Structure 1
Amino acid sequence: MTEQTGADAAPKTRTKRRHPVLKTFGSLLGVVVVLLILLIIFWDWDWFVPTIDRRASAAAHRPVSIAHLHVHLGWTTTVSVDDLRVAQPDTFKSEKEDFASARSVTVSVKPWDYITGHGITLPLIALDTPRGDIVSLLNGRNNYTFSEGTSTSSSSSSQTALPKIGELRITNGDIRIAMAKLHSDFRLKIHTTPPENGNLGTIVADANGRYARAPITGHFVGGTLLTLANPKNPYPIDLRVANGPTYVTLHGTVDDPVHFAGARLALHFAGPDMALLYPLTGIPIPQTPHYSVTGNLDYSKSMIRFNRFEGRLGNSDIGGDINVDPHQHVPYVDAKLHSHLVDLADLAGFVGGKPGHAPATPVKADSNVLPDQRISVPKLNSVNAHIVYHGDHIENKRLPLDNIDTDVTVQHGAIDVHKLNFAVGSGTLASDATLKPAANDNFATRFRLDVSRVQVARLMQGAGAVHGQGTIGGHITLASTGHSVADLVANGDGGVTLVLDQGGNLSAILPDLLGLQVGNAILSALGIPDRTPLQCFIADMPLRNGILSTHSLLIQTGDTRTTGSGTVDFRKNTLDYAITTRAIHFTVASFPGAVHISGPIRSPTILPGAELIGRLAATAGLAALFPPAAILPTIQLGVGKGSVCEQAVQQANANPAAGIAPGATTGAHPSAAARAGAAQAATSHAAPHRATHAATHHAAHTAAAPRETASAAQVRAAWAKKQHTN
């Protein structure tokens, strides 16, 4: 009985020992369940706000705060923050606005896509009343670089693939952009329109403020990000920008903007001066007259193309193709341009002048007679370029030029003019030049102009003074350092050597009036005789330190010989020159002598020389005492034909002021083929030895004539004596 009782008692004791454990476990489980229920009931995502603020501020190097955090978990998880505020960094505390803020920011994300390796998918980004204040200072410091100290360069871009964004929803956006280097401060008002009726929606931005010191307004309508990421739906673009007087429109579609392919865009821009496009394009263009151009804009990962454009530039038409590679350290521009009709006044800005036909204005007496527009070295350093231009026909009442061909390269601030050629009838004006950057924003320059078989009648047709088959050839050279055309000539060395070959006809009244041959001038004005042959013209004038002096200046007609002596000072823009015309044959009623021209080049003073004044005084005195004798001071016996012209030509070939003998650049060709060959030779880059060979050939040819066998020293001595005698 006792054993049974013990056996029965043992189990009862073990049962009583397990019960407290179970009871405790059950109590704990109940507490956990209650806590989970309470946590679910009272959970607040705002508990994470301090942590988010702290970590975001550390990452952005500026204070970041949010008022509330909302998270909705699911296959598509949505995270929202209220009253986002990103303050300015310490160095921009003076800014009145926060760097960024928004009433709310909502982002939807698909976590499963990221977990399964399909990248980040964001079905929705919604910004309610976003604000921004983007600032860059003159010293390069900005408030949008998220690194310590706000350095001027951004960190290297991540190679991570861009997230897939569905809908971007912006309500009442307002962003200020102030860039001191661009002299810009404007605001962008941004909003989106929702998808409806098959339309995927749009993003709309309006700009207002100042850009490049000029007022700017702009209106942009583009597709949403959903359209941007879908190659099957071309991305629409409609942009209108007015920056000061410059107006730009861009309209069309892009098949795949993300991968830079399939653009069908029409670009139109117009304004009073293409130089004003520099802030918008970053490409320096010289001053131009009013323009209006329209073409097709396309782009790829390596090139931006503005092709098949046509338009107007002042009175000229302009068209062609421009390709820009913006990915090089210095953007590269390749332009092939053409015009059917060219007004040279429209291209004056490309040589430092004022383009267009400006109304006449009073000019100061000491103003530069050459273009003084400064060549901008910083702008040239901002682009490398190769530009080819051809103009079919030149419209210019003052210059008898037929067409123009240019080939220019700009590389690291240096300008290489491979070709700048003009056709003048059957002749050619062919030039080339190099301009290399030098100290003080100057250019070390070498320039050469080859005048090849230019007909005098064609050259002087504007004055209607010359007829016949005479041709002019020779060279003009310049070596200098300066910052404008006027400055280069004022500091330059070189010369002018031009020679007329074969003769022509010059209106008789011109030399007659120069010699004040009263009787012949009256007859010439009546058309008797109406023409006088132009037998010789030579201009051999060296340029030294900006002063053009005279080796030879000779114009000889059938009746007169006109010589010149003196200097033209391009440093002071003044001249001191004397022109003397004497009769070759016996002449009555003539007042020969020098005419002095001096003072500012733009408004010189012209006075008769001592000889002319003496003859006039003698004529007046004799007329008072004995009228029949008054004719005596007007009689010229004539200087005779002589060989002055031949000697001057020989001297110009032996010791040319331009450094290059005229050689074979003068004279007519027996056939059109020969003329074409000469024109081609003139447009090529003639080497110095080629000019020397031409001079040697010419000297050998002329040496066959007995009248030109004298040495160079003898010729110069004879020419000096002849000038002294005359």
Structure 2
Amino acid sequence: MALAVLIVALVLLAIFFPWDMLRGPINRYVSEQTGRRFEITRRLDVKPGFRTASITLDGIEFANPSWAREPLLVGAERAEIDLRLWPLLRKEVVIPRLVFNKPRIGLQMEEDGRKTWALGKTDKGESGGGTTPKIGLLQVDGGHLDFLAEHQGVDVRVDFAFDPQKGDMPLSYNMKGSYQRQALSADGSTGNVLLLTQAGLPPFPFEIHANAGATRLDAVGTMAALTELDGVDAKVKLRGRNLGDLYRLIGVALPDTSPYRVEGRLLKNGKTWEAKELAGKLGLSDIGGELAFAQGAERPKLTGSLASKVMDMDDLGPLIGLPPTERSAKAVEGVQAQTTLEQSRRSRGDVRVLPTAPLDFERLRAMDADVRYSAQSIRNVREIPLQRGSVQVVLDNGVLELKPLDLGVAGGSIQGAVRIDGSKQPADIRMAVDIRALQLNQLIPKIESTKSSLGRLDGRINLAGQGTSVANWLGAASGDVAAMTGRGQFSNLLLEVAGLDGGEVLEFLLRGDKNVRMRCAALAFDVNKGVMTGRTLLFDTDDTLFTATGQASLKDETLDFVIRPQPKDKSILSLRTPLLVRGHFGDPKPGVEAGPLIARGAAALALGAINPLLALAATVETGPGQDADCAGALAEARTPQSPAAAQAAQRAQAVKR
């Protein structure tokens, strides 16, 4: 009986104890233990329990350490705190519920690990080792929060407003500042109770509309835990100038793209984010599929499958360092690329065509990936007949592989692999591509005179080298490039124009064009440190044999070729002379070799002085050309001649295995 009376007495004492008398001692004790000023400014009330004490603070000010920008860690008109008692014996602070009325919260992190909310008299927070309270539910009625992490480029202020008439999401917020050193603005609303850590309660609703730099996010859904952004289930809309910008914002290394707009469902459970039901546009191309981003392992990994019904070739430029074209830049409403390809070339005042922008190898080292992409059809403004495409993108510890790469082109295919080892400086880059059964009449449909042409084109590209951009990789690469075709048909009119045979051209204009049998053709180059030297350059028909010599420099983007037509028939009004192809990749300069042409012209003038009809004798073509050894020429085209080119080609081919 005495024990029961004692217990009742203790309970009544706890209930009716004048707790406010302890306000001064508590202020001094907390200030002494944390090394910061702590003050309950008006009144203290406590409702003790066996496990949890409910504490009401009427007016509170808790200072930040001296190095912080904001003077207060927390200041509020009123605070209600549920405090677990038993964890205090282990020097742990567990707060299942925290309610603030008109709070002023100042949070700050430093690069050395200091955090303003890590508590300790000796300021173990200086090294991030102080006691950090574990908070479950947070309820805010108005006020604002400042957060600064200068080393991460984060400096934001969030203002809160509470309106109970707004239903499920009475707490609205407005955010201004910078994130990852980009201007940030956001607004939205949420439930009046925020789950900082999961506490077995239903997720709280949220809505957000945010702009970070050129990226726009709209999302509405629910969240279970705010500190870990866990239990997210939301419908999202995302748009911006470049998917590559997301690396700076969220750490996911996506490729550079044209302006985009995409929407879908975003989920997060534990350490894995999932983007499902994706649908949208990347420039002129549509995109859809699913992605997952797992953060739990030593290196985060992106996996998934993406597909396009129609992919436009203009949208591939940013992948290799080119700005979007004007068409792609304007394809997504409300978003436009900062600089287009056309603007970039005009500003440089040159005609370089190879991408010179440095490739971002830091992103390759930031995560791993295994993503498949396919396009049902491929559209291209330049009328190259790409019909379909697929590729598997595998990124492992800084090594990127596009393997297998499969494109349907002109009734045939281009298959192979690309490997970029971004763990090396400069990156080791290899490409091995096989060209199989491309149909000539589909490959060059813009030239009217070749629409009835027939023939099959095969070839390969095997290049290996080091570089930091597509341009300087190609400018230093070695290997083998070849394209070959056997029997077919070709326009005779086109041949005679190329051979400067006026008599044949006149005849065909009067009687109509006809096809001539093509015996073989080959364009094969040994590539050594960016210089493509022709080893087999010929085009042989029943009418004319064209052979060529020369080289192209991938480093300087220049051309220097001499094409020699050798007619196999007799003709008059012929001014056949070697043809020249010089200049720049973006501005080739075709012409004729002046010496033979001047000699024929001088002879015509001399004979014309005797008799005008004799002038025609200087333009008579006796047709000395002979059939090429097609079997030998094609065999030569298949094998690099220089040891450096052959060795580099073998290194490149290894990526297909």
Instruction: Give the TM-score taking structure 2 as reference length.
Output: 0.83
1:372 aligned onto 2:356: yes
Query: Match of 1:172, as an amino acid?
Result: G
1:102 is matched with 75
Contact 2:365-2:422 within 8 A present in 1 as well = no
- Residue in 1 aligned with 2:10? none
> In 1, distance between residues paired with 2:502 and 2:127?
80
State the Cα deviation string for residues 265-294 of structure 1 (Å, max 9, x = none): 211101232222223221122332221111
Q: Greater helix share, 1 or 2?
A: 1
What whole-Å deviation, never above 9, does each CA across 1:92-113 have from its counterpart, x for those lacking one?
5xx4x32524144523437789
Go from structure 1 to structure 2 and tell me whether the alpha carbon gap of 1:293 and 1:684 turns closer, same or farther (over 3 Å shift).
farther
1:413 aligns with 2:390: no
Q: 1:513-541, CA deviations, whole angstroms, 9 ceiling, x for partnerless residues? A: 22111222344455622433332111111
Q: Deviations over 1:606-642 (max 9, x none)?
A: 4421112322332244334431121122122113443
- For residue 312 of structure 2, what is the amino acid of its counterpart? D
Deviation at 1:400, TM superposition (A): 1.1
Q: Counterpart of 2:190?
A: 222
Report the equivalent of 1:6: none
1:470 to partner: Cα distance: 1.2
Q: Which residue of the partner structure matches residue 638 of structure 1?
A: 623
> How many Å separate the matches in 1 of 2:573 and 2:175?
78
Unmatched segments (≥5 aa) in structure 1: 1-38, 58-62, 663-682, 688-726
CA distance in structure 2 between the partners assigned to 1:428 and 1:599 by the alignment = 31
Whether the 8 Å contact between 2:545 and 2:627 is mirrored in structure 1 is no
Cα gap change, 1:619 to 1:360, in 2 (>3 Å)? farther
Following superposition, the deviation at residue 655 of structure 1 comes to 4.9
Question: Mapping of 1:600-615 within 5 angstroms?
Answer: 600-609=584-593, 610-615=595-600
1:275 is matched with which residue? 244
Instruction: Return the match for 1:129 from 103, 107, 110.
Output: 103
Does residue 1:322 correspond to 2:307, yes or no? no
Q: Residue 315 of structure 2 aligns with which residue?
A: 346
Residue in structure 2 matched with residue 713 of structure 1 by the alignment: none
Q: Does 1:495 align with 2:495?
A: no
Deviates more, 1:384-393 or 1:351-360: 351-360
Report whether the alignment pairs 1:171 with 2:171.
no
Q: Which moved further from structure 2: 45-54 or 564-573?
A: 45-54
Helix, strand or coil at the partner of 2:31: helix
The one-character-per-residue Cα deviations of 1:121-158 (angstroms, maximum 9, x if unpaired) are 75552243313152546x87776666778889744998
CA drift at 1:477:
0.7
* Alignment check: 8 A CA contact 2:271 2:294 kept: yes
Greater mean alpha carbon deviation, residues 204-213 or residues 648-657: 648-657
Counterpart-to-counterpart distance in 2, 1:226 and 1:368: 55
Match of 2:337 in 1: none
Q: Counterpart of 2:278 in 1: which secondary structure?
A: strand
Q: Report the alpha carbon displacement of residue 246 of structure 1 after superposing the two structures with TM.
A: 1.8
Match of 1:68 in 2: 41
SS of alignment partner, residue 636 of structure 1: coil
Question: Does 2:413 correspond to 1:428?
Answer: yes
Q: Describe the superposition over 1:638-673 as per-residue Cα deviations: whole angstroms up to 9, x where unpaired.
A: 13443432321132245567759x9xxxxxxxxxxx
Deviation of 1:563 (Å): 1.3
Match of 1:486 in 2: 471
Corresponding residue for residue 31 of structure 1: none
Aligned residue for 1:667?
none
CA contact (8 A) 2:272 2:292 kept: yes
Provide the rounded CA distance (Å) in 2 between the counterparts of 1:150 and 1:203.
34
- Contact 1:511 1:562 (8 Å CA) reproduced: no
What is the distance in 2 between the residues matched to 1:42 and 1:414? 65
In 2 relative to 1, CA 308–433 (structure 1 residues): closer, same or farther, beyond 3 Å?
same
Cα separation, 2, equivalents of 1:599 and 1:232: 72
Alpha-carbon offset, residue 251 of structure 1: 1.0
1:443 paired with 2:443, answer no
1:378 aligns to what SS in structure 2? helix
Paired with 2:656 and 2:80, the residues of 1 have a C-alpha distance of 70
**Structure 2 residue runs without a partner (length 5+):** 1-16, 328-339
**2:3 alignment counterpart:** none
**2:231–2:270: 8 Å Cα contact kept in structure 1?**
no
Alpha carbons 2:84, 2:96 under 8 Å: kept: no
Q: Are the aligned partners of 1:365 and 1:602 in contact in 2 as well (CA < 8 Å)?
A: no
Q: Match of 2:534, SS?
A: coil
Q: Indicate the SS of the match to 1:520.
A: helix
Inter-partner Cα distance in structure 1 for 2:512 and 2:528: 44
Equivalent position of 1:186 in the other structure: 156
Aligned residue in 2 for 1:404: 389
The alpha-carbon distance between structure 1 residues 41 and 499, as it changes in their structure 2 partners (threshold 3 A), is closer
Deviation at 1:415, TM superposition (A): 0.9
Q: Report the alpha carbon displacement of residue 411 of structure 1 after superposing the two structures with TM.
A: 1.4
Larger radius of gyration: 1
Secondary structure of the residue aligned to 1:375 is coil
Instruction: Tell me if structure 2 keeps the 8 A contact 1:587–1:635.
Output: yes
Equivalent-residue separation in structure 1 for 2:20 and 2:324 (angstroms): 77
Tell me the SS of whatever aligns to 1:73. strand
Counterparts of 2:269 and 2:130, CA distance in 1: 22
Q: State the SS of the aligned residue for 1:348.
A: helix
2:437 aligns to what?
453
**1:543 Cα offset (Å):** 0.5
**Deviation digits for residues 532-582 of structure 1 (CA, Å, limit 9, x no counterpart):** 333211111110111011111101223111111111112222222111222
**Percent identity over the alignment?**
20
CA distance in 2, matches of 1:413, 1:41: 61
Secondary structure at the counterpart of residue 33 of structure 2: helix
User: How far did residue 333 of structure 1 move?
Assistant: 0.3
Distance 1:277 1:253, change over 3 A: same
Count of residue correspondences: 609
- Shift of the 627–128 alpha-carbon distance from structure 1 to 2, 3 Å rule, reads same
Is the contact made by 2:263 and 2:279 (CA closer than 8 Å) also made in structure 1?
yes
2:492 is aligned, of 490, 497, 508, to: 508
The alignment yields a C-alpha RMSD, in angstroms, of 3.6
Secondary structure of 1:512's counterpart equals: helix
Whether contact under 8 Å (2:398, 2:421) holds in the other structure is: yes
TM-score after normalising by structure 1: 0.75
Q: Is the 2:194–2:226 contact (alpha carbons within 8 Å) kept by the matching residues of 1?
A: no
* 1:453–1:444 Cα change, 3 Å: same
Q: 8 Å contact 1:336–1:389 — kept in the other structure? A: yes
Q: Distance in 2 between the 1:146 and 1:622 partners?
A: 106
How far did residue 593 of structure 1 move?
1.7
- 1:308-319 equivalence runs, <5 A: 308-319=277-288
SS at match of 2:386: coil
Question: What is the distance in 2 between the residues matched to 1:447 and 1:42?
Answer: 77
Contact between 1:203 and 1:221, CA under 8 Å: does it hold in 2? yes
Counterparts of 1:151 and 1:378 in 2: how far apart (Å)?
31
2:361 and 2:130 mapped to 1: Cα distance?
A: 31
- The offset of 1:435, in angstroms, is 1.3
SS in structure 2 opposite 1:550?
strand
Deviation of the 1:482 alpha carbon: 0.5
Alpha carbons 2:274, 2:290 under 8 Å: kept: yes
How far apart in 1 are the matches of 2:357 and 2:19?
78
